[in-house]
Amino acid sequence: MELHQSGHVWNKDWVSFLRPWIPILLGLHMQFSRASGSSCPEECRCDRTFVYCNERSLTSVPLGIGEGYKTLYLHNNQINNAGFPLEFHHVASVENVYLYGNQLDEFPINLPKNVRVLHLQENNIQTISRTALAQLLWLEELHLDDNSISTVGVEEGAFREAISLKMLFLTKNHLSSVPIGLPEDLKELRLDENRIAVIAEEAFRNVTRLERLLLDGNLLTDEGVAPGTFQDLVMLRELSLARNSLTYPPPLLPGDVLVKLNFQDNQMNEIPVTSFEGLRRLERLDISNNQLQSLTQGVFDGLVSLRQLTVRNNLWLCDCSINWVILWLKSLPTSLNVRGFMCQKPERVRGMVIRELNTELIQCPDSTTTAPPPINLPPTSPGLTSRSPPSSTDSPSDMHSLSPPSKLPSSPTHHPPLFSSSPPRDREQRTNLPPLDPERENLQIKFTILNGSAIHVSWVASFPVTAYKVTWAKMGPSLSGDTVRDRMVGGEHRGIRLANLEPKSTYRICVIPLDAFNNYRPKDDTVCSEAVTKPVSYGPDNNKGPLWPEQATQQDPSSPFLLAGLIGGAVIVVLVLLLSIFCWHMHKKDRSSSTNWKYNKGRRKDDYGEAGTKKDNSILEMTETSFQIVSLNNEQLLKGDYRIQPMYTPNGGIGFRDFPVGNNSTVYCKNNVQADTDFCRA
């Protein structure tokens, strides 16, 4: 009785334990049943929500794709427009379809009705109908890159049927204009690498939510872009018009939220001062690879949020019109990164960074400053700054005295020496600089050529300086230097030694005073000039004093000929040695072959007449038409009277009996049996 009661209690507890788990178990069972009910085509492989039918040489979409799958891979097959069955349109769970790399020539119909992302790149699609897109009410992202779509092949208003479309990619097609009737909710439109030459003013009128527009690599000109074309794109954040044929930026750009603007690789030769007005949020501007030579002052004043400006590969002319750019660059905050301001003209400043230019390098034809008197400079060092000729009474040294030309006096006798006109009488380096005249110049530098790989630069300033920045670069034939190297030194220093330079080379050296924040001084206190290192000297000439620029720039006429003579002599010696080895080898080979050579080795023995000499020291062989005697055992034949007689003739002829036999002959018959001559027959 007690046992029965305890069993009843246990059954009651078991039911109460399973009761909360019943809904969970039923849910798992239903989920498992649904997953197991999703059929997978036998041509494909299915994994959770993915169906992999790619790269299987399919010509149509396989049948039997069940519900529950979200992503379908059908790319890189041979599917054509006839390969989309109607039941494929009713698969409601598929949202992502990859059909790129097939053989479609029209926009396909019967695609899954709930597809959101559709990839149709790298087909041969030429036409797009409204009917096909009207089936895709939930389509948000459409990729049609690298097809053959033309403007006439797109039915007007076709893309508007895809009412949910947010991203449309039409790169690398044959469009000659922007398609009419784009969806209103479109946020990104890519039309790059087409043949668009004209953009109608109403092309983007209804696309007010567009945020990114790419028109790179088309045929756009100034006349092909209607005024105010982009004015209605109030949400536009990025506009790219690279690789077109524009000569100036289109007017009336949208300025509310535009952040990135690209105009590189056009034919722009001017930028109106109002081009960037109102672009207060613009952060990145690229105008590189154009034909710009100068900029109108104030063209960048409205770009208060600019963070990166790229102006590379333009034809910047460094004359008086560039002065405001120099001052603007020096006043920029560190948060703004400017790239590519480098002089291209005139030739004497080609390759120099515009920010580091000063007034002594810029020619201003209307300037009222008294020009310094010209002097004769070395042939390989074109004059960048005017210098006074040296006085013969000055102490000889390899020192340069430079100062801004606008502050130099007109009398050349007041200048410190540039180069000594007479050879040096001692090698003592001069370290004391002459006192500066504050009314005459702000910064003076001097060079001392130490040897072929080192130059000592010394300076003195008439104003307090926190630090100096010294830059130097080797100059080429066009005065465009290689990589610019720089070094910072404290304001208390008055000189620096530049080492590891190349001998007999021209270096452009600049000394730039910096303030307490390592910024350039607002005035043009930078001083630049050129110095020539010594050539490498050998022998007793090493003990001579420093070479003057006239000597350093003069080429030694015997050096190239000496080097050519050494190289030519070495080549001749090597050739003679190789020829001697070759002749010795051939001579040795001939001797070896002459001692071991056997005449007509390999021919049939029956073709020869055989005879022996006395004591069989040698074997003599003879052909039917001629013969040659060769000693085969390399022993000298015994002296005596030898006669060679034919035993038989293979093709008929004279017989053995026609010749008398001498006493010193041994006769062999055909069978190599020694016999009497009377009984031998041919």
**185-212 pLDDT, tens digit each:** 999 999 999 999 999 888 898 899 999 9
Q: Which residue has the higher pLDDT, 601 or 80?
A: 80
What distance in Å separates the CA atoms of residue 249 and residue 276, rounded to the nearest whole number? 9
Give the confidence band of 412 by pLDDT, cuts at 50, 70, 90.
very low
Question: How far does Cα 360 stand from its chain's mean position?
Answer: 36
Angstrom distances, CA of residue 610 to CA of 503, 602, 627, 630? 83, 16, 11, 13
Q: Which residue has the higher pLDDT, 482 or 493?
A: 493
Give the confidence band of 24 by pLDDT, cuts at 50, 70, 90.
confident
Sorted by sequence, the CB contacts under 8 Å of residue 34 that are 6+ apart come out as: 68
Mean pLDDT across the stretch 384-398?
A: 36
Query: What percent of the chain has pLDDT above 90?
Result: 40
208 burial via Cβ count (<10 Å: 0-12, 13-18, 19+): middle
Mean pLDDT across the stretch 569-573?
A: 91
Q: Which of 67-71, 427-431, 564-568 has the lowest mean pLDDT?
A: 427-431
CATH architecture type of domain 443-533:
Sandwich (2.60)
Judge contact between 645 and 667, C-beta under 8 A. Answer: yes
* pLDDT for residue 164 is more than 90: yes
* pLDDT for residue 398 is more than 50: no
Q: Which of 63-67, 159-163, 241-245, 660-664 has the lowest mean pLDDT?
A: 660-664
Mean pLDDT across the stretch 363-370?
A: 51
Tokens linked to 36: 């197991």
Mean pLDDT across the stretch 562-580?
A: 88
What distance in Å separates the CA atoms of residue 571 and residue 328, rounded to the nearest whole number? 61
What distance in Å separates the CA atoms of residue 361 and residue 526, rounded to the nearest whole number? 10
Mean pLDDT across the stretch 603-610?
A: 43
For the stretch 92-130, pLDDT in tens is 999 999 999 999 999 999 999 999 999 999 999 999 999
So where are the chain's domains? Answer: 443-533
Tokens linked to 143: 């990729």
Tokens linked to 562: 């000496």
Judge contact between 511 and 459, C-beta under 8 A. Answer: yes
| The pLDDT of residue 210 | 95
String of DSSP letters for 617-649:
--EEEE-SS-EE---SSS-PPPPS---------
Buried b / exposed e along 598-625 (16+ C-beta atoms within 10 A): eeeeeeeeeebbebbbeeeebebbbeee
Q: Which amino acid belongs to residue 343?
A: C
Judge contact between 416 and 450, C-beta under 8 A. Answer: no
Give the confidence band of 443 by pLDDT, cuts at 50, 70, 90.
confident
Judge contact between 162 and 133, C-beta under 8 A. Answer: yes
| Strand ranges across the sheet with 485-490 | 485-490, 467-474, 506-514, 527-532
As a whole number, the mean pLDDT across the chain is 74
| The pLDDT of residue 11 | 57
Give the confidence band of 1 by pLDDT, cuts at 50, 70, 90.
very low
Tokens linked to 358: 């000063």
Q: Which amino acid belongs to residue 396?
A: P
* pLDDT for residue 314 is more than 80: yes
| The pLDDT of residue 194 | 96
Other beta carbons less than 10 A from residue 195's beta carbon: 14
| The pLDDT of residue 421 | 31
Q: Which amino acid belongs to residue 399?
A: M
Pairing of strands 495-498, 454-461: antiparallel
Judge contact between 645 and 656, C-beta under 8 A. Answer: yes
Mean pLDDT across the stretch 260-264?
A: 96
Mean pLDDT across the stretch 325-330?
A: 91
pTM here is 0.53
Angstrom distances, CA of residue 151 to CA of 157, 181, 197? 12, 12, 12
Q: Which of 160-174, 195-209, 509-523, 531-545 has the lowest mean pLDDT?
A: 531-545
What distance in Å separates the CA atoms of residue 209 and residue 77, rounded to the nearest whole number? 36
| The pLDDT of residue 127 | 95
What distance in Å separates the CA atoms of residue 187 and residue 167, rounded to the nearest whole number? 6
What distance in Å separates the CA atoms of residue 309 and residue 297, rounded to the nearest whole number? 16
Angstrom distances, CA of residue 555 to CA of 192, 397, 524, 559? 55, 21, 36, 8
Task: State the Cα angle at 637 between 632 and 641, rounded to 5°.
Answer: 130
* pLDDT for residue 396 is more than 60: no
Judge contact between 617 and 629, C-beta under 8 A. Answer: no
